[in-house]
A = this chain, B = another copy of it.
Amino acid sequence: LDQQAIQAIRVYEDTLTKPPGSLGVLESIAAQLGGITGQAFPEVAAPKAVVVMAADHGVVAEGVSAFPQEVTVQMVANFCNGGAAINVLARHAGADVVVVDVGVAAPIDHPQVISKKVRLGSANMAQGPALTREEAVQALEVGIAVAGELIDRGYRLLATGEMGIGNTTASSAIVAAFTGQAAAAVTGRGTGLDAAAVGRKAAVIDRALAVNRPDPADPLDVLAKVGGLDIAGLAGLILGAAARRVPVVIDGFISSAAALVAARLAPLASGYMIASHCSAEAAHRRLLELLGLKPLLELEMRLGEGTGAVLAFGIIDAALKTLREMATFESAGVAKGEA
């Protein structure tokens, strides 16, 4: 990050007609975006896109989700028809929805879907590795390539989204693998399990960890053995955005698991992340702490797709507009305080 730009923004913010620091996180975001872009007056980032990585998870065979696997491909169709929550919220935010098939367990042939299928869903991690190391790298590279293409097309702010029945199971497994915590401590309701089903889901994750023994010091090993193609694609998207100095807004639990993989692969990538919300999924707050990120929104959402991330777009725009458009004490003839 450009520390000089950050410092210049911090100084300028204190000349604006408000008590110093009183815009709180808005001031921090403006400074962060200055650090990312190297601009002392960062422009409101546009155009914006949310990238929805879609993939299936073999672990659904263990009964870890309240929804059947075919919902992944059905929801991809819903995204293409504009009827899903992410379509509504992206329209509201003035952002485009980019859907990537990185591993849905059914053929998808739709002009609106970027087809980058690595394989037809991951394998069942309760019985062996979800992916080979090569497949995990391939899915990472899909994300890096998509970020590059979007940035080449002019996008200046990206957000992460996903669709994949079973992907909270993989996300909890990743958190457990990196932290050494028991699965029960980091496993939640996903799309709506009851307490007994959450217990069974945690047991499946413990089994996956015991069978695969992912090495927490080797993020690729964790990603391959207990991750998934959507998560790998998002980790790549984050790395690709950071490498091109484009900020990336992190959605909920699954996106944050991908962000953790990205941060372990390339710690400097964290500076390009903006956490959008803290979801209702049990371990999300812990995951955000691991990332060192503070969420902008707390709306008890637990939908994924990028829905929380695009809601945060409006807050980010607002932060930049206050920096760019507010009067200074001097220009407005307002007396400064002692503070």
Contact B25 A300 (CB under 8 A): yes
By beta carbon, the residue of chain B nearest A307 is B23
Interface 9-mer from A82-90, A176-184, A206-214, A226-234: A82-90
Partner of A18, one of B77, B81, B303, B311: B303
Partner of A25, one of B65, B301, B332: B301
Partner of A24, one of B26, B301, B339: B301
Beta-carbon contacts under 8 Å, A297-339 to B: 297-303, 307, 311, 314-315, 317-318, 321-322, 325-327, 331-339
A6 and B17 alpha carbons, distance in the complex (Å): 42
Partner of A67, one of B19, B25, B77, B191: B19
Give the number of residues in A that approach B within 8 Å (Cβ atoms).
62
Contact A333 B74 (CB under 8 A): yes
Q: Is A71 on the interface with B (CB-CB < 8 A)?
A: yes
Q: Is A128 on the interface with B (CB-CB < 8 A)?
A: no
Q: Which residues of B contact A334 (CB under 8 A)?
A: 71, 74-75, 78
A205 and B20 alpha carbons, distance in the complex (Å): 24
Contact A331 B83 (CB under 8 A): yes
Contact B192 A20 (CB under 8 A): yes
Partner of A19, one of B22, B26, B66, B70: B66
Contact A83 B303 (CB under 8 A): no
Q: Is A286 on the interface with B (CB-CB < 8 A)?
A: no
By beta carbon, the residue of chain B nearest A317 is B92
| Given A296-B297, A297-B296; A327-B83 close (CB under 8 Å) | yes
Contact A24 B280 (CB under 8 A): yes
Contact A337 B19 (CB under 8 A): no
Contact A23 B85 (CB under 8 A): yes
Beta-carbon contacts under 8 Å, A12-30 to B: 16-26
Q: Which residues of B contact A311 (CB under 8 A)?
A: 314-315, 318
Instruction: Return A197 CB to nearest CB of chain B, in Å.
Output: 9
| Given A67-B335, A83-B17, A337-B67; A192-B22 close (CB under 8 Å) | yes
A210 and B91 alpha carbons, distance in the complex (Å): 55
Instruction: Return A20 CB to nearest CB of chain B, in Å.
Output: 6
Contact A302 B24 (CB under 8 A): yes
A71 and B321 alpha carbons, distance in the complex (Å): 23
Q: Which residues of B contact A333 (CB under 8 A)?
A: 74, 77
A81 and B337 alpha carbons, distance in the complex (Å): 21
Q: Which residues of B contact A83 (CB under 8 A)?
A: 17, 325-327, 331-332
A336 and B338 alpha carbons, distance in the complex (Å): 60
Interface centre among A20, A75, A84, A311 (most CB of B within 10 A): A84
Contact A335 B71 (CB under 8 A): yes
Contact B85 A18 (CB under 8 A): yes
A85 and B326 alpha carbons, distance in the complex (Å): 6
Q: Beta-carbon contacts of A24-65 to B below 8 Å, as 1s and 0s?
A: 111000000000000000000000000000000000000001
Beta-carbon contacts under 8 Å, A254-281 to B: 280
- A/B interface sample: 8 pairs, CB < 8 A: A65-B337, A74-B332, A74-B333, A78-B332, A85-B322, A296-B298, A297-B297, A311-B314
